[in-house]
Amino acid sequence: MIVERIMKKNVHTLLPTDTVEHALHLMEEKNIRHIPIVNNMMQLVGIISDRDVRNGLQAALYENSAQEDLQQPLSKVMKTNLLTGHPLDFVEEVAATFYEYKIGCLPIIQDSKLVGIVTETDLLYTFVQLTGANQPASQFEVKVENISGKLAEVTSILKKRKLNILSVLVYPHQDEQFKILVFRVQTMNPTGVIHDLQEEGYEVLWPNLPGVTS
């Protein structure tokens, strides 16, 4: 999946000459945590977060200069050392960037202009959709050899039960000779398919159902 499919395209922005007070009001009104700062050509020049604003206000209150600091231009407080993405970047790569750099949002740039933004919430929602966790289903984990064709073999067993697969994830096993397949399927009773898998010699790691042994 590419970033263009999950990014917010209607981005609330401000200019470097706008004030901290303006940014605070916009965040509260739109219930957002990050505001990209752009120039008149929609080119990204900075970003400001609710943490930046609130930390600055706390310091200002301590020094009894809150009103003066509220009127500061955003150019004085915005972050300018920015990470950005492109609409054709893969969501998985963007998620890795969030994790590595511990960021809360990523502005998306195309042809030198801001075209969207991706937040932590966007990534989490996408992960929920990709895994099918927002739909009634059963999940089970199967240990298989780390060789080609194993996924097809397991899905053929599910096909015999006419089970609709909502998602498939592949996890590494501590032993590199194996991997773990995690399925979410549209059934509230996975006992039958678990029995079928075990009959074919597969080790079902989850669920460990009473009365059903590997």
Rounded-to-integer distance, Cα 162 and Cα 66, Å: 65
pLDDT in tens, 36-76: 999 999 999 999 998 887 776 655 555 555 567 788 899 98
Which whole number is the average pLDDT over 84-99?
A: 97
What is the reported pLDDT for 101? 96
Give one word for 179, left, alpha or beta, with left for phi > 0 and alpha for psi -120 to 50. beta
Helices marked H in 31-132 — which ranges? 50-62, 66-70, 91-101, 120-131
Nearest to 18 by CA among 48, 56, 55, 58: 48
Rounded-to-integer distance, Cα 1 and Cα 61, Å: 45
Cis before 207 (ω within 30): yes
> What is the set of domains in the chain, with CATH numbers?
3-128 (3.10.580.10), 135-206 (3.30.70.260)
- CA 86, 89, 93, 94 dihedral sign is positive
Q: What CA–CA distances, in Å, run from 156 to 113, 145, 188? A: 47, 16, 19
Bridge partners, 142 (sequence order): 181, 204
Burial of 87-122, coded b for 16+ CB within 10 Å and e otherwise, reads eebebeebbeebeeeebebbbbbeeeebbbbbbeeb
pLDDT in tens, 136-181: 999 999 999 999 999 999 999 999 999 999 999 999 999 999 999 9
